[in-house]
Chains A and B, each alone.
Chain A
């Protein structure tokens, strides 16, 4: 487990020793705040973070792959993957170490949106439980996007390709749950299949969480999604690390 911590620590540090972390944080915080206030934060006259959470999936579609794309693609491009895997580290330790470091980084980005929480607390008397489940859902969703990005990053040496592929994959999973998509799909698929498409989407599971409902099936969805994509990432990496 020590090797896991070593990889984890190095990865997390590397975000902050490069401008990447700061560029990402500034842009993420600006857009998360901007979209919140633009989408009628004041007009609803309600002290909650609904407008903030509602925009997160779309923001994550672009922001999360941009942190995930470098995870393995850069390592393979620079050649340091040869160094890493000739040190006493197993693939699982390395993949998990990097994944959790990136996830914690996204967690830090989410935590830095605390001024919004302060704002609603100042303006009214918000339901704290709602905010907590909302943040939990957002964090799990970030992990899901990240696992997908991590996989595509292991697939290609080229960071741009990794980015584009993971944006597309994430977008498919987000838009699968949008009412317009579901309406269209229901024109040619039986209702059971439509429900299946809806159930695969991030949107549905995240929506129930930001309404304050913490269901086993939603948490399980995210955990399974993360475990599946991260495992796939480890398999692909083992195959391709030397090519």
Chain B
């Protein structure tokens, strides 16, 4: 016997849970969250567009036993990042050519691609650093074209090479970020106390940033991105140039934050995708080639992720020419 529950339509102020039959007609399948909750053998997470143009999530979970399933609102998910047909060219070069995807809370999305695939450009458009030629995107419900300040408030961004002000001390720099993000007084102290040990930068707190090694600079950049505890994190090659221990540390950090944030990382290190990402989006020449999970990819091609990546980016890129 199979019971199905679907829910979360916002009507007025309250959330009304509706019990539907096991049929899931127009709903879009999105991802599978592994089981591990008591009797439940699996939880399927589905999204659908509901009222107020908000994206609310509907859940359907089956149960093996005959007893009715309970509502589990903590599985409520919304798409935090929604990218629609982003396009950007630099002179004759089309850097990003109609990229669309969406990502929800709890997901770690890995943007993979060869050099020059348009990963950084996509991220820069998402963080409102550059404007798209066409298409749009929204972050936490803020549109990048019409509400760029809202977008920038709700996300944390670690840019490539983690830029910072070299003449400032780590502490001074983080305090500047707090100032600009309007974190003051006791909240500022709390934020610093949380973020500094989290990124293990206590030992360099009073040093100027120009004297730091690449690994420490990266961690300062990460601390800067995390200081306001954002719901969406965008990290451009977060482990680039780190030693193996630091890489492990950063991945552990991402893994620990994954469940209550939406994280997008770009990388071309495939082991990293297997280690931290719950989804892999492969881009080449500005186009999304594959949007899947690392496990599915490996299962589908019966090969290591390296092999899969090579096959997809070389054959499909050749096919588009």
Question: B40 at interface (Cβ–Cβ under 8 A)?
Answer: no
Interface size class of B (residues with CB under 8 A): 20 to 34
Contact with B along A47-87 (1 / 0, CB 8 A): 00000000000000000000000000000001111110111
Tally of contacts, chain A with chain B, CB under 8 A:
65
Taking the complex as formed, is B167 at the interface, i.e. its CB lies under 8 A from any CB of chain A? yes
For A81, list chain B residues within 8 Å (CB). Answer: 163
Task: Check A80/B152 contact, CB under 8 A, given A3-B180, A242-B129, A242-B130.
Answer: no
B179 at the interface (CB under 8 A from A): yes
Q: Which A residues are CB-close (under 8 A) to B161?
A: 79
User: Is A83 touching B164 in the complex (CB atoms < 8 A)?
Assistant: yes
A-side residues, CB < 8 A to B, are 2-3, 5-7, 9-10, 13-14, 17-18, 78-83, 85-90, 241-242
Closest to A4 in B: B180
Partner of B167 from A14, A82, A85 at Cβ < 8 Å: A14
Q: Give Cα A85–Cα B165 distance, bound, in whole angstroms.
A: 13
Contact A79 B130 (CB under 8 A): no
In the complex, what distance in Å separates the CA atom of A7 from the CA atom of B152? Answer: 16
Pair B167/A86 contact, Cβ less than 8 Å: no
Residues of B within 8 A of A88 (CB): 149, 152-153, 180-181
Q: Which residues of A contact B224 (CB under 8 A)?
A: 83
Residues of A within 8 A of B165 (CB): 10, 14, 78, 80
State the Cβ distance, B105 to closest chain A Cβ, in Å: 21
Find chain A residues with CB under 8 A from B127 CB.
86
Shortest C-beta distance, B281 to chain A (Å), equals 21
Distance, CA A24 to CA B113, complexed state (A): 48
B177 within 8 A of A: yes
Please pick, from B153, B163, B166, B172, the residue contacting A82 in the complex, using a CB distance under 8 A: B163
Determine whether B233 belongs to the interface, using a CB cutoff of 8 Å to chain A. no
Bound CA–CA A17/B130 (angstroms): 31
B176 & A6 in contact (Cβ 8 Å cutoff): yes
- Distance A86 CA – B125 CA, assembled complex (angstroms): 10
Contacts of B159 in A (CB 8 A): 79, 82-83, 86
Task: Name the B residues within 8 Å of A87 (CB-CB).
Answer: 152, 177, 180-181
Q: In the docked arrangement, what's the CA distance between A14 and B152, Å?
A: 24
In the complex the two chains form, is B163's CB within 8 Å of A78's CB? yes
Q: Give Cα A82 to B125, complex, Å.
A: 12
Q: Does B168 contact A (CB under 8 A)?
A: yes
